[in-house]
Amino acid sequence: MENKKFGTKQIAITALLLAVCIASQFFKNLSIFITGPIINVCLLLTVLTAGLPAAIALSVITPVTAFFIAASPVMTAVPAIVPFIMAGNVVLVVCFNFLMKKDLLGDGLKKISSYFKAIVCALAKGVFMGLTISLWLLPTFIPAESPLRAKMSVFQMTFSVFQFLTALIGFVYLFIIWAVLKKTMMKEQA
């Protein structure tokens, strides 16, 4: 399914996956464990089906749409968080592209190493966001007198450990969806 040219097909796939991301963001205030994995699986599917540039574009667009659709109090208080979420998404798709894409385009679902690589990719996103957002941005830019300070530990967990977990869940979804897509593609080619 890898295609070196960026054309109408890649734009259509990216637009479809963006629509899924936007639809999921309406449920963001219910639970990060609904929206997060959906966004992550869409980013990963974009790498596989439309390429890294499209996945990077989606990585940048989805935090902006999240800000406008269902901005959390911490996003409203510290809007500078948005570029760091974008960067965290980019870390995920770049790691995935270089560590796993060739495996999954082949028979990577059968290799145990693919599952370890998924953990590494998810961990890279979680660590990046934990260091930049949880340990630096939020403590620096949420004023000491702000009522949000009382929830700092929740915010820090959300932008570190929960990012790792939602990326892992996104990989579980990816492995299931990709297994079905590969079978469908093989039947069409036969």
CATH number for the domain harbouring residue 53: 1.10.1760
Q: Does residue 3 belong to any structural domain of this protein? A: no
Q: Does residue 65 belong to any structural domain of this protein? A: yes
Q: How confident is the model at residue 14, as a pLDDT?
A: 96
pLDDT category at 105 given cuts 50, 70, 90 is: confident
Q: How confident is the model at residue 142, as a pLDDT?
A: 94
pLDDT category at 187 given cuts 50, 70, 90 is: confident
Q: How confident is the model at residue 72, as a pLDDT?
A: 87
pLDDT higher than threshold 90 for residue 109: no
Q: Does residue 124 belong to any structural domain of this protein? A: yes
Mean pLDDT of 114-132: 97
User: Cα separations (Å) of 81 from 137, 138, 164?
Assistant: 7, 8, 17
Q: Does residue 35 belong to any structural domain of this protein? A: yes
Q: Does residue 2 belong to any structural domain of this protein? A: no
Q: Domains in the chain: how many in total?
A: 1
Q: How many other C-beta atoms lie within 10 A of the C-beta of residue 33?
A: 12
Give the number of residues written for the chain. 190
Q: Does residue 25 belong to any structural domain of this protein? A: yes
Over the chain, what is the mean pLDDT? Answer: 92
Mean pLDDT of 55-73: 94
Q: Does residue 1 belong to any structural domain of this protein? A: no
Mean pLDDT of 64-80: 92
Q: Does residue 81 belong to any structural domain of this protein? A: yes
Q: How confident is the model at residue 184, as a pLDDT?
A: 82
pLDDT higher than threshold 80 for residue 108: no
Buried b / exposed e along 116-146 (16+ C-beta atoms within 10 A):
ebbeebbbbbbebbbebbbeebbeeebeeee
pLDDT category at 71 given cuts 50, 70, 90 is: confident
Q: How confident is the model at residue 18, as a pLDDT?
A: 97
What is the residue range of 100's domain?
A: 8-189
